[in-house]
């Protein structure tokens, strides 16, 4: 059994300030395969912040070309270890190695940030005023377990592009992925103190980072409840907060849509990563006259999943991350049954033939009332609630009647009609007819799904402060004019 005890602070692997360790459980075998330190605490968070603060003065003044070169080295170091990273995520979190987006996706985001950095204007002019965009400072990055590499990569790569320094606190459930990612940054020659890793409990390390007076910005991805606590802690020192939180995204299938395409796509997107995705379309709104027509497509698509060892290429759905998540999803399935939803696929317990591992059956309920628990709360597992509607006005009302507003999806045979409906949705990202997302476009949510945006120019600017410098007219005409 491997032991991962050290933290990464100031460019070196160091011992945590306190003792203690815990085991890491493989969600497929339910057996321990590694141990990590539980010693990371407030003192270590303080050490990491001090290292980042010390490195900020020099790194914030590096040239764009120097930062592009660093990102290129990180890309090369990462690509050399992609297969290893896929294996670690499979063993640690249960993500199938067949889910290539988990390993290839981070490279794409790094390349987008690099390309944007080549084109971005950190100085523009407004009459006789120079408007400067400068790195905000030391950033605390708090990332989740469901995308254990891609999410921290999106945070750190835009922070590096901006010229910031940072401290990463990964989820307790995915520390090994963060350790390998840190090794990649070290191998790429990231200057000491620019990137630091502290592993520890969220209520200790996360709280210490969010409330630290020398942290200028907190970027958090996780549950809405945890995000509220991060925001409260950060408010005590009035720092910028970027939050990507929970979701209960609706996929509205209008009457003129391709019903089979919409149904099959909804299952594929909803059950990706065993449904452990905040953007998953876990509510599917179908016209009441089309419910029975859509059920066969949903059931047939569910039956295509192959559950099993996430390290086997043929597996398309792995286990849930841990026992607690398994029990939580089981309670939601029971709630659906108790509240009268009609079960058409899946149900309680493990799938047939799987007697170990935190597997849950891919589950579909139809005839779901919008007030049912499974229609309102984020389940974070492969459970779909199909809700009937009688009119488009009612469909829009149901879709928007949620505390969340992270994503939305619309299927229609008419682009104009689909766009008009999408425009009425109160959510941060809307996909039409199953269109793929764009890594240059901003990602973030409305309402209790978060604050701020990541990815693309909008993501870069989360890590920048704006300064106006008056009395310096651009006589040489070198600076672009500020675009309103």
| Catalytic annotation, residues | 244, 278
Alpha-carbon span 276 to 93, nearest angstrom: 11
Q: Which one, of 281, 242, 262, 291, lies nearest residue 379 by Cα? A: 281
Residue by residue, what is the 3-state secondary structure of 88-121?
A: HHHHHHCCCCCCCHHHHHHHHHHHHHHHHHHHCC
Contact 117, 160 (CB under 8 A): no
Distance CA 79, CA 73 (A): 10
**CA dihedral (393, 398, 401, 407) positive or negative:** negative
Buried b (16+ CB within 10 A) or exposed e, 35-46: ebbbbbbbebbb
What angle separates helix 64-79 from helix 150-162, to the nearest 10 degrees? Answer: 160
* Beta-bridge partners for 447: 404
In contact, 209 and 169? CB cutoff 8 Å = yes
Give CA–CA dist 298/439, Å, rounded: 29
DSSP state of 480: P
Helix, strand, coil % (nearest 5) of the chain?
A: 40, 20, 40
217-221, strands of its sheet edge to edge: 12-14, 7-9, 195-197, 165-169, 138-142, 217-221, 240-244, 450-451
**CA pair distance 431, 466, nearest whole angstrom:** 32
Helix (H) or strand (E) holding 314: none
Q: Tell how strand 129-135 and strand 464-470 pair up.
A: antiparallel
**Dist CA 372 CA 332 (whole Å):** 10
Q: Report d(CA 168, CA 196) in Å as an integer.
A: 6
């Amino acid at each position: 059994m491997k032991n991962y005890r050290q933290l990464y602070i100031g460019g070196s692997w160091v011992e945590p300030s306190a003792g203690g360790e815990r085991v890491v459980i493989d969600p497929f075998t339910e057996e321990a395969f590694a141990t990590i330190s539980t010693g990371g605490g407030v003192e270590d968070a303080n050490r990491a912040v001090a290292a980042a603060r010390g490195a900020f003065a020099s790194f914030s003044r590096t040239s764009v070309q120097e930062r592009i070169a660093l990102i290129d080295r990180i890309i090369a170091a990462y690509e050399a270890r992609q297969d290893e990273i896929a294996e670690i995520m499979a063993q640690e979190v249960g993500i199938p190695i067949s889910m290539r987006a988990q390993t290839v996706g981070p490279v794409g985001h790094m390349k987008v940030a690099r390309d944007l950095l080549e084109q971005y204007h950190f100085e523009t002019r407004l009459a006789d005023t120079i408007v400067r965009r400068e790195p905000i400072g030391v950033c605390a990055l708090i990332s989740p377990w469901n995308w254990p590499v891609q999410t921290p990569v999106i945070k750190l790569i835009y922070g590096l592009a901006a010229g910031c320094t940072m401290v990463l606190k990964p989820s307790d459930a995915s520390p090994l992925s963060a350790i390998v990612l840190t090794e990649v940054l070290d191998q790429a020659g990231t200057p000491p103190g620019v990137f630091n890793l502290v592993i520890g409990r969220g209520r200790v390390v996360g709280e210490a980072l969010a409330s630290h007076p020398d942290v200028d910005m907190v970027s958090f991805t996780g549950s809405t409840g945890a995000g509220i606590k991060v925001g409260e802690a950060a408010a005590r020192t009035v720092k910028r907060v970027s939050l990507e939180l929970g979701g209960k995204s609706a996929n509205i299938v209008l009457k003129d849509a391709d019903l089979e395409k919409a149904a099959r796509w909804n299952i594929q997107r909803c059950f990706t990563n065993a449904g452990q995705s905040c953007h998953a379309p876990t509510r599917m709104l179908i016209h009441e006259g089309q419910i029975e027509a859509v059920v066969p497509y949903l059931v047939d698509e569910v039956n295509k999943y192959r559950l099993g060892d996430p390290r086997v290429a043929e597996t398309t759905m792995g286990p849930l991350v841990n026992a607690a998540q398994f029990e939580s999803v089981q309670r939601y399935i029971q709630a659906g049954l108790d509240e009268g939803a009609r079960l058409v696929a899946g149900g309680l317990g493990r799938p047939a033939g799987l007697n170990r591992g935190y597997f849950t059956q891919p589950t579909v309920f139809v005839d779901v009332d919008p007030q049912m628990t499974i229609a309102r709360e984020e389940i974070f597992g492969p459970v779909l609630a199909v809700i009937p509607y009688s009119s488009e006005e009612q469909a829009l009302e149901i879709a928007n009647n949620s505390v969340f507003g992270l994503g939305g999806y619309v299927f229609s045979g008419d682009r104009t009609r689909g766009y008009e409906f999408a425009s009425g949705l109160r959510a941060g990202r809307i996909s039409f007819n199953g269109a793929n997302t764009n890594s240059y476009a901003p990602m973030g949510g409305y309402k209790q799904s978060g604050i701020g945006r990541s990815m693309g120019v909008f993501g870069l600017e989360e890590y920048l402060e704006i300064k106006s410098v008056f009395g310096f007219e651009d006589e040489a005409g070198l600076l672009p004019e500020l675009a309103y």
